[in-house]
Structure 1
Amino acid sequence: MLALIRASHPGPTVVVTAMGSALAAGVGRGAGGTLLAGAAVLSGQLSIGWSNDWIDRRRDQAIGRADKPLAAGPGTPDGTGEGLAPRTVARAAFVALAACVPLSLANGLAAGLVHLAAVACGWLYNLRLKATAASPLPFAAAFGLLPAFITLGLPGHPWPAAWAMAAGALLGMGAHFANVIPDLPDDLALGVRGLPQRLGATGARVGAAVLLVAASVVIALGPGGHAGAPAVAGLAAVVLALGGGLAAARGNLRRAAFAVTVAVAVIDVAMFAAQGARLV
């Protein structure tokens, strides 16, 4: 069970689920609506995480990824690692995907279809676009649609403000660039050449920083064109995180860059959640 949880990419799964739940609470979906939205997002993220490890299992085995349950362990012919068989992860991915359909549609037809489109973007990335120059596009589409999934579940089914979808798209692409940084050498060795890998280590770091800072600015200034106290505090935290990262970069630039981009992404998510009531 622990290996299966690790194979679900628990970090991103928890963060995205928390983000969706916080946005739902912020726009006034109520306790029931927030739980329903969170359950739909959780099932979709689990399906994407498990499918990613299942699809990438042979590449992960080739480089000995000890953090991936399907690549760790004795390396038996069927790919079993830590007592976890590939078919178990595949079944979990499809069960989560099957659960995602009714959970998404329970939020309303329009909201459900939008969320299923976002989940499809995650699967498309895993199946095809991960190793192409178009690798950021599924993240832009999926994260850009997340605010729409939340607001379309409200009475009247309103679409979110344009700034919210733009901020979600920037945040998603920034998260993609940041996530690539620690694994960039391994990806290049295996021929995985998404856009961040094609830009190289420096390009990936700069791209992650630019996208996440841009998301910060849009989240802070998008609603009404002026920043309130929470937005100002968020922007100040982003500046401090970037400054601290530059100061710490002398020891290990790659590790510092990854830590900074993760910190900025967390700040962006918190700022986004704080703007929940202004999404519509």
Structure 2
Amino acid sequence: MVPACHPEPVVVVTVLVTALAVASGRSAGGCALVAGAILTGQLSVGWCNDRLDAGRDTATGRRDKPLVTGAVGARTVTVAAAGALALCVPLSLASGPAAGAAHLVGVAAAWSYNLGVKRTAVSWLPYAVGFGLLPAFVTLGLPGHPWPPAWSTAAGALLGVGAHITNVLPDIDADLAGGVRGLPQRLGRRRARAVAPVPLFAAAALLAFGPPGPAGLAGWAALAVTGPLALATAVPASAGSASRLPFLATLLTAAAAVGLLLLHGGALA
């Protein structure tokens, strides 16, 4: 059952947003509510994704999918996705109506991706909306319900777009065989590899120069890391036989940008 929820992104996003809530000054109870809402939202999205893709995964022989191997039943995954979504609503609204609405719009965007947007040229949009609203979910639950600064929203959206392209990279061939033609698939493997680091580097630049005050050592260090990584992946052919290099480079770029986001968590409000 657990593998069907896409556990890696579920854990990463839940930990990231909870850490952002801690850095922004949310109370212990508030951080717990953020963690619960993010966890249930991500679980619902992951289970929904595997349930809706079961037919395509079976046709393309995806033996890494529990629904394909029969390790879990379709009805079980359907009930789990619906149950997680039902829990996500009150847990999100427990942070306040505005904060809850921000998170639920992001979850709805993720579900829209699963329900068909992933097959279109705007497959990046749900990721931009979902990730862009995460800082708002955190800050709107603070006293006074402040809206986060524009640089954090834009950086979150750019991280989402970069995450979308990076996440799709390993499965582009299988997706095309199954009729999925989102933006990365339309770009093709070579161009998608070259494009993926661009929004991630742009997010790092925003997080370095967007907050008040100088970029500081951490900001310049992040740019010193992400700049060469972006250049290294701009020409995929140069990787030669080391075909995983562009994918790993985009992950390192994302990690540096996320580190900056957490470092500036206190400036969100």
TM-score, normalising length: structure 1: 0.91
Residues 20 and 37 of structure 1 are in contact (CA less than 8 Å); yes or no, is this contact kept in structure 2?
Answer: yes
Which runs of no fewer than 5 residues in structure 2 stay unpaired?
none
The structural deviation recorded for 1:266 is 2.0
Match status 1:212 vs 2:197: no
State yes or no: 1:265 paired with 2:249: no
Q: Which residue of 1 aligns with 2:128?
A: 140
Deviating more after overlay: 205-214 vs 91-100:
205-214
Query: How far apart are the structure 1 equivalents of 2:53 and 2:242?
Result: 28
**Is the counterpart of residue 232 in structure 1 residue 229 in structure 2?**
no
Structure 1 stretch 231-240 or stretch 264-273: which is displaced more? Answer: 231-240
Q: CA deviation at 1:230?
A: 1.9
1:65 paired with 2:62, answer yes
Hey, what's the Cα distance between the residues in 1 that align with 2:115 and 2:214? Answer: 41
Give the match for residue 251 of structure 1: 241
CA deviation vs aligned residue, 1:40-70 (integer Å, no higher than 9, x gap): 1111000000100000011011111122111
In 1, the alpha carbon distance for the partners of 2:217 and 2:27 equals 25
Structure 1 gap segments, 5+ residues each: 74-80
What are the Cα deviations for residues 185-244 of structure 1, in whole angstroms up to 9, with x where unaligned?
111111100011111112211221111111111111111263122222222232464577
**Alignment of structure 1 residues 1-280 onto 2, 5 Å:** 4-71=1-68, 73=69, 81-82=70-71, 84-224=72-212, 226-239=214-227, 241-242=229-230, 249-253=239-243, 255-280=244-269
8 Å contact from structure 2 (residues 201, 230) kept in 1: no
**For the residues of structure 2 that align with 1:175 and 1:249, how far apart are their CA atoms?**
21
Please give the root-mean-square deviation of Cα atoms over the aligned residues, in Å.
1.7
Cα distance change, pair 62–247 in 1 and its aligned pair in 2 (3 A): closer
How many residue pairs get aligned? The number is 267
* Large movers: runs of 4+ above 3 Å: 239-248
% identical equivalent positions: 54
Q: Which amino acid aligns with 1:124?
A: S
Of 27-36 and 136-145, more deviation after overlay is shown by 27-36
Give the residue type in structure 1 aligned to 2:248: A
- Following superposition, the deviation at residue 247 of structure 1 comes to 11
1:78 corresponding residue in structure 2: none
Distance between the aligned counterparts of 2:3 and 2:154, measured in 1? Answer: 31
For residue 117 of structure 1, report the CA deviation from its aligned partner: 0.6
Distance 2:107 2:126 in 1: 9
Supply the distance in 2 between the matched residues of 1:89 and 1:108 (Cα, whole angstroms). Answer: 30
> 3-state DSSP class of the match of 2:151?
helix
Matched to 1:191, the amino acid is G
TM-score using structure 2 length: 0.94
Amino acid at match of 2:240: R
